[in-house]
Structure 1
Amino acid sequence: MIHILHSSSLELRRLLPITLLCVSAFAQGETWVITDQAHPVTNAAGIRVIHLDEQQRLEEQLTKKLPSNPMQAAASIQTYLSSPDGRQFQRELAQAQQAATDAWSLGIKKIPAVVVDRQYVVYGEADVKTATGIIARARSMQR
């Protein structure tokens, strides 16, 4: 233990940026972006992005493959949904439905919306980095 406390300053300087990065990430909190395909966002890597139209997109993708005959379509759907791809589709559909529920539970009124800690929101900003910066500045002024 004592050896670690007396590490060279070079080692400590190497750890400082990593420590600051971790502290910064934890200070920002949980970030969600709520949008749809018509309102793309940028700088959203590593952030939960909820597309409100994802369920519709998945359903359209499914129905494009169906025959026009209703009886054949019903049989085709049953076969597909029992397949591994069909089970994956059902998981994706359930996730899309849950994501939309999560977004609406926040009372989002406009998209795109960037939400931090389910408490702070910036509407209309497509650049997630800019939006989280706005939120960070507002939060720092409250302290």
Structure 2
Amino acid sequence: MLVVTDSRHPVQAPAGVRIIELDQATRIEVELAAHLPADPQQAAALVRQRLHDGGEALQRRIGHAYQGVADAWGLGIAKIPAVVVDRRYVVYGEPDVPRAVARINAYRSTQP
């Protein structure tokens, strides 16, 4: 199961469900760019320092953020929130993940 959303569309999901927030990469970039000096060289040096200080944890956050966008794009997600089951079934617009899964299961039970 996979849930695709963004920070403006919170969802209620059980623990262990993978949630992709499409704007997570942008939020990380905003963190890195916060309060930069006007001088471009100083700003670049400060961003490099922030990337260095963030270490592997920051690199993982950035990687996961962009991988999530790629995964959502690969699934053809058209709207958010989206609850995807088995990479085949999707419910759009339902922030309550258990309710969306129940709708998917109800549909699946009627299909041979």
Q: TM-score range by the shorter chain?
A: over 0.9
* Mapped pair 1:70 → 2:19: no
Q: Which has the larger Rg? A: 1
The answer (yes or no) to whether the contact 1:39–1:112 under 8 Å persists in 2 is yes
- Distance in 2 of aligned mates of 1:66 and 1:88: 22
* Mapped pair 1:129 → 2:98: yes
Higher relative contact order (CA 8 A, sep 6+): 2
Q: TM-score, normalised by structure 1?
A: 0.73
Partner of 1:79: 49
Whose helix fraction is larger, Structure 1's or Structure 2's?
1
Q: TM-score, normalised by structure 2?
A: 0.92
Partner of 1:101: 70
The answer (yes or no) to whether the contact 2:82–2:92 under 8 Å persists in 1 is yes
Output the amino acid matched with 2:52. S
Partner of 1:118: helix, strand, or coil? coil
- Distance in 1 of aligned mates of 2:57 and 2:71: 21
What percentage of aligned pairs have identical amino acids? 50
Matches within 5 A, 1:1-143: 31-83=1-53, 85-143=54-112
The answer (yes or no) to whether the contact 2:2–2:20 under 8 Å persists in 1 is yes
- Distance in 2 of aligned mates of 1:127 and 1:80: 36
Runs of 5+ unmatched residues, structure 1: 1-30
- For 1:1-49, what per-residue CA distance to the aligned partner results, in whole angstroms no more than 9, with x for missing partners? xxxxxxxxxxxxxxxxxxxxxxxxxxxxxx0000001111013321000
- For 1:75-95, what per-residue CA distance to the aligned partner results, in whole angstroms no more than 9, with x for missing partners? 112222223x24322221111
Aligned length: 112
